[in-house]
Structures are given as C-alpha cells and as structure tokens.
Amino acid sequence: MSGTIGYLGPQGTFSEEALIAWIGADQASRERPYPRIEACFDAVASGEVREALVPIENAIEGGVTQTLDQLIAHEGRIVIRGEVIHPIHHHLIGAPGSSLDGVTQVISHPHATAQCGRWLRARLSGVSVDPALSTADAVRIAVAADHGIAAVGNRRAADIYGGEILAEDIMDAPDNRTRFAIVGREEGPAGGPGPWTTSIICGIAADRPGALLSILQEFALRAINLTRLESRPARTGLGRYVFFIDAEGNRHRDLPLQAALTAIEEGGIAHVTALGCYPRAQEPA
C-alpha cells in the first residue's frame, strides 16, 4: 500500500490547510489531492493512498454529507484513524483590481457559502450564489474570470491563484471550525493516553417506537458521554435511517463502552458498525 496521504484538493482548499497544520508544509506538498470526497475514499479503498484527510463536520453547518454517505457505503471497510480540528476563515476573493461593488456572482463549495449565508444576503443581496467543486477551484475560476465573479475561499488560495481579497472573515460565526477525519482501511494503534473517541454507525434492527431511545439508554446507564449523534438515510427505502454516534472512550479497553456496544448488538436493538477508535483532537487555540 502506498504511504501517500490523499486529501480533498486542489491546492488551496481548507483540507490542504488542515493537512499542513497536521503534518507540516514540506510533507503536505508531497501528498495527493483529489477533486471530490468520493475520489478520496476510492483511493483509500484501492490502496492508491494509505489514508485520506476529508472534512466530516463543521461548527456552523454540521455533518458533511458526502463524507458520512461514503462511510455508510463502505460499511466499515474504511474507518476513521484520527481527526484534525482546524479553524476556518472565509474571505471573499476576486481577480486583482476587482471590487465588492462589481460582484455579480459568488461561487464556492456549497458548505462554504452556507457558512457565510447571512453575510452574503446582507452585503450581496440579489447576487447569484453558485456551487463549485471546492473553495480552491472557485478561487481559481474567479481569478481567471477577471471581473464580476468572486469566490469564497481562504487566504492561501488567494496567494496560490493570484486573487485579491475583497472582504475578510465573512463567515457567520467567528469561532468557525471544521473537524477533518483521517480515514484508512485499518484503525490506528489502540494504545496511548486519552482522551479517546469511538465512532460507530447504528442501523435500527426493526422500526418501532423507542428504538433510538433504547440505543441511547445503553450509553446513559453506563455514564458514557456521547459527543455526536446524527442521522442519515440508510439508502434502503424512505423513512429508514442510520445513526452516526461518537462516544467518549476506547472500545478496545474501556469495559463500560464495550458492554454498551455488546448490549445494543446482542439485544437486537441495532446493528453496530465500528467506524474507528482514535485519540480526540486538541482544539486549536
């Protein structure tokens, strides 16, 4: 298997920023960008890369659906090996010499424009907001278009593609952060001090009243804190969902957590798919 790390590219994305924060600029420059989250997972599955760094959750917009859906699709064959939490600063970027008054279209990844929705409605009311594959690709397009188009992206993308920042820090919440998952075909080492996070997917065994409550009670009875709970369609019919759960603890060595997962599975409440057990990332200052 290649030792290369994949990430959601091209150069200048927030994923690349997080990668640089994780492994350093020199090493990050040797890693491999992919145009879509799905391509990152495909590269991991095929062994083209050892692991990939992809966004999984944002403080404003919540879960990144493309990543969650890929974790569902791979059914535990690709797991979370670690995480990186990175601050997100969105800027409005255009071609050199352009101005905020001259913007007629804003482009970016939908997650990025959603994180700046209030600012865009207040300052650029009536201007069309359209999707791009990534924030970096949006900046590249905006700079090449010369005038009229602006992109939501980061300062690194502006530097790489020769853009001019028309407005700084336009995100709706100043403490905007994204959690990036490091995904691979195997879990990382289970040793080391905590704190740890165990991620699972729970698929309800039978649709009945109180099914989700039964899952949550197994954790509550053992005083296990859940740091995340999110549902996604199971892709097996309308009204059927799976639940992503992040629990505090290490499933390989914490007996209460092991007991909770066993009770959920063996009690016929839900099918549990292990998504990884990894050290919790430190929040950036």
- Domains of the chain, start order: 5-87+176-184 (3.40.190.10), 91-167 (3.40.190.10), 196-279 (3.30.70.260)
Output the pLDDT for position 193.
73
Q: What does the alpha-carbon distance between residue 212 and residue 166 come to, in Å, rounded to a whole number?
A: 47
Q: Are 139 and 116 in contact (CB under 8 A)?
A: no
* Helix, strand, coil content of the chain in percent (nearest 5): 30, 30, 40
DSSP summary character for residue 282: P
Q: What does the alpha-carbon distance between residue 158 and residue 144 come to, in Å, rounded to a whole number?
A: 12
User: Helices (H), strands (E): how many in the chain?
Assistant: 10, 15
- At residue 80's C-alpha, the angle toward residues 52 and 114, to 5°, is 70
Output the pLDDT for position 237.
64
Give, to the nearest 10 degrees, the angle between helix 65-73 and helix 37-46: 30
Q: Which of 204, 191, 254 is nearest to 225 (CA)?
A: 254
Q: Are 152 and 116 in contact (CB under 8 A)?
A: yes
Beta-bridge partners for 66: none
Q: Are 17 and 156 in contact (CB under 8 A)?
A: yes
Output the pLDDT for position 238.
65
Burial degree of 39 (CB within 10 A; 0-12, 13-18, 19+): middle
**Tokens describing residue 253:** 């060595």
Q: How does pLDDT run across 191-235, given as a tens digit for each residue?
A: 677 799 999 999 887 777 788 999 999 999 999 999 999 998 876
Answer yes or no: pTM beyond 0.75.
yes
Beta-bridge partners for 196: 279
Look at residue 87 and give its three-state secondary structure. strand
- At residue 59's C-alpha, the angle toward residues 171 and 84, to 5°, is 110
Q: What does the alpha-carbon distance between residue 223 and residue 213 come to, in Å, rounded to a whole number?
A: 15
Place of tokens 């009770």: 263
Q: How does pLDDT run across 156-188, given as a tens digit for each residue?
A: 999 999 999 999 999 998 889 999 999 999 988
Q: What does the alpha-carbon distance between residue 37 and residue 1 come to, in Å, rounded to a whole number?
A: 20
Counting as low any pLDDT under 50, the low residues of the chain are 1
